Amino acid sequence: MCCSPDSAALAAAAGPRLDRLRAACADAGMGAFFVRDTSNIAWLTAFDGVFDDEDAHALLVTPSDAVLHTDSRYSEAARAAAAREGAVAVDDARVAHAKFVAETFAARHADRPSVEAEAIALGIEDSMSLAGFRALEAAFAEVPERPKLRETSDFIVNLRAVKDVQEIARMKAAQAVTDAAFAHIVGYMRPGMTEREVQIELEDFMRRHGAEGLAFPSIVAAGANGASPHAIPGQTVLEAGQCVVLDFGARAHGYCSDMTRTVFLGQPSQKMRDAYAAIRSANEQVEAVLKPGVTGKAMHELAERALADAGFAGKMGHSLGHGVGIDIHEQPALSPRNEQPLVPGNVVTVEPGIYLPGEFGMRLEDFGVITPDGFEVFTRSTHDPVIL
C-alpha cells in the first residue's frame, strides 16, 4: 500500500453532517428531508463499507432522528456501521421506500395536531424520478399525517461542496495512491505499447497499492487521440515523437482523486514545448491566486487569458475544473457559468488543456482544497516536462 494514513484522521461522523442538513432545512422552512441519492446517503450517514453502485436505499432525516431504509443485502453491514456511528437507525422492512417514509414520518408526528402537521414541509432531493415522487405522494395520501412535499435542487450537493477534515484526509490518501501510480507508469510505458496496455497497468497498480477502485475509467491518449479530452484508450500504438495524456484517479476510503499529466516519448517538438509551457503557466497562475472569495468564472477566465497570451486562444474548450469528493464530479465548478465565490473547504481541480485536432492534445491537472488564505494542492507529481 502506498500510504497508511492515521485511522483517526479518516474517522468521519454522521452527527455533524446531519446537523448541517437539519440547520439548512430549518432555514428553508422544512421539518424533514427524504434522501434517495446513494452518494448523498453515504455522505450523511458516514457509513464505510456499506454502499455500492446500486440504488437500493432511502434516508429520512427529521429534527430528532435519522432512519436508513435498506434491504437484506445491506442491512447487516448497515447495522454494524450504525452501531459504530450511533446517529442513524437502520430499517429493512420489506416495503417500498415511499411507503416506508410516509409511515415513518407519520409515526414521528403522530402526536401533532393535523393542522400543524400539514404545515411541516418534507424536502425531497431533485434526483428522484417523477415516478418516485408520484409514489411518495400516493403513499402519503394513505396516512393521517401528510406534510407538504417540496422538491429541492442540489440541496445536499451544496452542503457536500464544503469538505470536513476527514474528507480532506481521505482525498489526500487517494491522491497518494495516484501519485505513486504515475511514478510507476512513467517507468513502465514505452513506444510499441498500446494505449490499452498502459491503461491496464496503470489501473492494476492503483488497485494493488491501496485503491479500493477507480475514481473513473482512466484515459491514456497518444498522439492525435490526445486532442479528444475524454478519449477512450484503444489499440493505438505509442510512438516516438508523441505526447501522451494520462488522466486517472484512485478511489480510496470512499473518496476520489483526479490528476492529469502529459508525458513525451522522446524530445518534443517546439510546438509541443510551447503548448506545454502554456498549460503549465495557466495551471500555476490559477493555483497561486485561488482563495476564498474568488469565483469559478474568474479562475476559468484567468486560465483562458494565460493560454491566449501564449498563442493558444480558444484551444481549451472545457471548463477549467470541478469539485471532487465521494463523486468524481461535484460542486463547485471552475466554470464561466459559476459566479459564486469559493469558500474554505471547497475541493476543486485545476486542469487547463490545449487540443489541436489531428496533431496532439495535452492537459495538466492537480486538485486541492481552498484554505482560509489560499489553496493547498494535494497532487505531488511534478509539473516539469516528463520526457521518456
- Reported as a single tens digit per residue, the pLDDT across 57-105 is 999 998 889 999 999 999 999 999 999 878 999 999 999 998 998 888 8
Grid cell, residue 87, equals 446517529
AA letter at 36: R
138 touches 149 (CB < 8 A): no
Q: What number of other Cβ atoms are within 10 A of residue 192's Cβ? A: 10
AA letter at 29: G
Largest CA distance in the chain: 78
CA dist., res. 369 & res. 371, Å (int): 6
CA dist., res. 58 & res. 39, Å (int): 11
Q: How far apart are the first and last CA of the chain?
A: 26
Q: Is 219 left (phi over 0), alpha (psi -120 to 50) or beta?
A: beta
- Reported as a single tens digit per residue, the pLDDT across 96-149 is 998 998 888 888 765 544 444 445 678 887 667 777 778 888 888 887 777 888
CA dist., res. 222 & res. 218, Å (int): 13
Do you find a cis peptide bond into 332, omega within 30 degrees of 0? yes
Q: What is the pLDDT of residue 114?
A: 42
Q: Report residues of the chain scoring pLDDT below 50.
A: 112-118
CA dist., res. 22 & res. 345, Å (int): 20
Q: Which residues contact 24 (CB under 8 A, 6 or more apart)?
A: 155, 159
What domains can you pick out in the chain, each with its CATH number?
A: 11-158 (3.40.350.10), 161-385 (3.90.230.10)
DSSP code per residue over 288-309: HH--TT-BHHHHHHHHHHHHHH
Describe the crossing of helices 270-289 and 296-309 by its angle, rounded to 10 degrees.
Answer: 150
Find, among 4, 84, 88, 2, the residue nearest to 45 by Cα. Answer: 88
DSSP code per residue over 324-339: -SSSSSEEEEESTT--
**Residue 314 CA to chain centroid, in angstroms?**
27
Listed in order, strand segments (DSSP E) in the chain are: 30-35, 58-61, 66-69, 89-91, 121-124, 148-151, 213-214, 219-222, 243-248, 250-252, 255-256, 259-264, 321-323, 330-334, 347-350, 353-356, 360-363, 366-371, 374-377, 386-387
Q: What is the pLDDT of residue 104?
A: 87
CA dist., res. 258 & res. 248, Å (int): 6
Q: What is the pLDDT of residue 113?
A: 42
Q: Which residues contact 51 (CB under 8 A, 6 or more apart)?
A: 38, 41, 42, 57, 74
Q: What is the DSSP letter of 381?
A: S
Q: What number of other Cβ atoms are within 10 A of residue 281's Cβ? A: 17
Residue with cell string 434516508: 59
CA dihedral 309, 341, 171, 263 (to 10 degrees): -10
CA dist., res. 55 & res. 34, Å (int): 14
